[in-house]
Structure 1
Amino acid sequence: MLTRTLLCASTLLAFSLPALAAPLATLYKDPQCGCCEDWAKHMSRNKLPLHTAPATDMTALKDKLQVPANLRSCHTATIGGYVFEGHVPADLVQKVLRDKPAIRGLAVAGMPQGSPGMETGVKQAYQVIAFDAQGRQSRYASR
């Protein structure tokens, strides 16, 4: 009986561990936006699946999440306690989740061509900006 109980407990634990290790990830977007879905696919291909939550008042959501007005884009994601605004590349999201810097999140302002989810054949240079809860901003990466 003890062996059976231990086997059941270890099986339950094995199935629970991957769920516990994955950060809670939600993509907030306008239901009509297609590039947001393309960004979500980019994230999923990079082992960062997102739960999509349609949002009609994105301005209020971005205000609540402390996204600076000059960094706003079409969609906002929350992953592992951080905010990711716009078309932030998955490798930089993974770096933030791994390194846990003292920032509120990362943003790619606007919708630069060639950024993840905006692959149109044209490639614009763009900045990935780190921001904190006090509104301070700094360049995190250039692409």
Structure 2
Amino acid sequence: MSKSLKKYGSRLLIALAATSVMTLSSVAAHAANLEAKIIKNPNCGCCTMHGDYLRAHGFDVTITNDENVYDIARMAGVPDEMQGCHLTMIDGYAISGHVPVETILKMLEERPDITAITLPGMPMGSPGMGGQKEAPFEIYSLKAGQAEIYDVR
């Protein structure tokens, strides 16, 4: 390897490392002080673990037990077939299910004209669910009863 390639290669690595640290810092800063209100069935433990996951990523999480979580999700614009096992409200958006924090932050940064995002069901390996991830997570955006793929993780 030439001397100049080593010199520029080292600078590139330093620049990439600095960018990664700044990106991670901005992600944490973006979540800091944002309230995440989770509404869950009182008998569901994985929803509490998803709350812990959001806390670990800087969100201020409050959890409310409500046996009518599916009705509340429906009122928030999440149809029955698209619902996860809990509903989270963050900064005017509804998030249904075990949506990864990267997708939540993407939505909060882009501010799309939607009412909700959802990861339907309770897929294994999703944040808070445990187990092995079996396939990429297809996260949908919802607006006026219409669903479309928003993100794949």
Number of the residue aligned with 1:14 = none
- Show the counterpart of 1:43: 54
Q: Quick one: which amino acid aligns to residue 114 of structure 1? A: G
Aligned equivalent of 1:130, options 141, 144, 151: 141
1:30 corresponds to which residue?
Answer: 41
**Residues 98-142 of structure 1, C-alpha deviations (whole Å, 9 max, x = no match):** 22111111100000111111122x21222111111x111111112
Q: 1:43: Cα distance to partner?
A: 0.7
Q: Determine whether 1:102 maps to 2:122.
A: no
Task: Give 3-state SS (helix, strand or coil) of 2:71's partner.
Answer: helix
Consecutive unaligned residues of structure 1, counting only runs of 5 or more, are 1-17
1:25–1:79 contact (8 Å) kept in structure 2: yes
CA RMSD of aligned residues (A): 1.6
Matches within 5 A, 1:114-129: 114-120=125-131, 122-125=132-135, 126-129=137-140
Give the distance between the partners of 1:66 and 1:74, measured in 2 at CA.
15
Structure 2: where are the runs of 5+ without partners? 1-28
Partner of 1:139 in structure 2? 149
> What TM-score, normalized to structure 1?
0.79
Alpha-carbon offset, residue 24 of structure 1: 3.5
TM-score (norm 2): 0.74
Does the 8 A contact of 1:40 with 1:49 survive in 2?
no
- How far apart, CA to CA, are the structure 1 residues paired with 2:60 and 2:103? 15
1:8-30: per-residue Cα shift (whole Å, max 9, x none)?
xxxxxxxxxx9xx8334210001
Match of 1:59 among 64, 70, 87: 70
Counterpart residue number, 2:17: none
- Among the aligned pairs, what percent are the same residue? 30
CA distance in 1, matches of 2:35, 2:55: 13
Q: Supply the distance in 2 between the matched residues of 1:48 and 1:101 (Cα, whole angstroms).
A: 20
